[in-house]
Amino acid sequence: MHNRNFFPILAPASSRPNWILALAAQLATLSLFAAAIPVEPASAITIRIPRNRNPYRVCALELVDAGVAPEVAANACAGALHPRDISKCVVQINRKTKISAADALSSCRRVRRPDELTTCVVDISARSRTQAAEPLLVLDSCRRSLLPEVFSECVVGLSRRLDFSTERLMSTCLDSRDRVGQLDGRPAPTPPAELIPPPSRLN
């Protein structure tokens, strides 16, 4: 019958090979050495988090890589309160549209929210389903808008229902005096003229 004991019966020490005795001695030494090393508590472990990269350095690096002249990049980054916002605006517009980095930088520096300018330009350029407008005209229209993201939603939304050029839609959405309902060709109502009293005559 087979032995059901899973642990083999060790032979007497006198009959064991010398290499087994040497291995056992080394294991015993390693165990004593490991027990002597103090275990540092988990609370004492310090995780070092690298500092964020210098935003001015990253701004200049991204602008130069996008094709902006070093002198222009230096002035743009140094004069920005949040330099990374400027470089991100330029890089995204340059990558996702046909607008050069130099032209994008000119507009990104002149708006309060460069991220919204980026969204506006990219959305109109990529999502509009009508005749495409000149890229620089899209950039200028988004820059002139007080609410660039709302402006782009107006242009993109109307382009999916109305067969008008993007240029016409941008002009309508940008001009606050126009009404969206006037896009069907009806003339806009004339606002009432202000009543100015005639000047009084001196006796």
CA 53 – CA 202 distance, rounded (Å): 74
| CA gap 61, 80 in Å, rounded | 15
Mean pLDDT of the chain: 77
Of 121-125, 164-168, 192-196, the poorest mean pLDDT is in 192-196
Q: What is the pLDDT of residues 131-156, one digit of tens each?
A: 678 999 999 999 999 999 999 999 99
- Once rounded to an integer, what is the mean pLDDT over residues 51-58? 85
pLDDT above 90 covers what percent of the chain? 51
Q: Give the pLDDT confidence of 71-100 residue by residue, as tens digits.
A: 999 999 999 999 999 999 999 999 999 999
Greater pLDDT, 22 or 41: 22
Separation CA 61–CA 65 (nearest Å): 6
- What pLDDT is stored for residue 28 in this prediction? 65
Q: Tell me, what DSSP letter sits at residue 180?
A: G
Joined tokens for residue 61: 């690096």
Mean pLDDT for the stretch of residues 1-25: 55
- The model's pTM is 0.61
The pair of structure tokens assigned to 124 is 């109109």
* Spatial contact of 74 and 51, defined as CB atoms under 8 Å apart: no
Helix, strand, coil percentages, rounded to 5, for the chain = 60, 0, 40
How sure is the predictor about 190, in pLDDT bands with cuts at 50, 70 and 90? very low
Q: Residue 3 class from Cβ within 10 Å (0-12 exposed, 13-18 middle, 19+ buried)?
A: exposed
69 pLDDT band, cuts 50/70/90, is: very high
Average pLDDT over residues 107-119: 95
What is the average per-residue pLDDT within 36-64?
A: 69
Most confident of 30-39, 47-56, 190-199: 47-56
d(CA 81, CA 111): 12
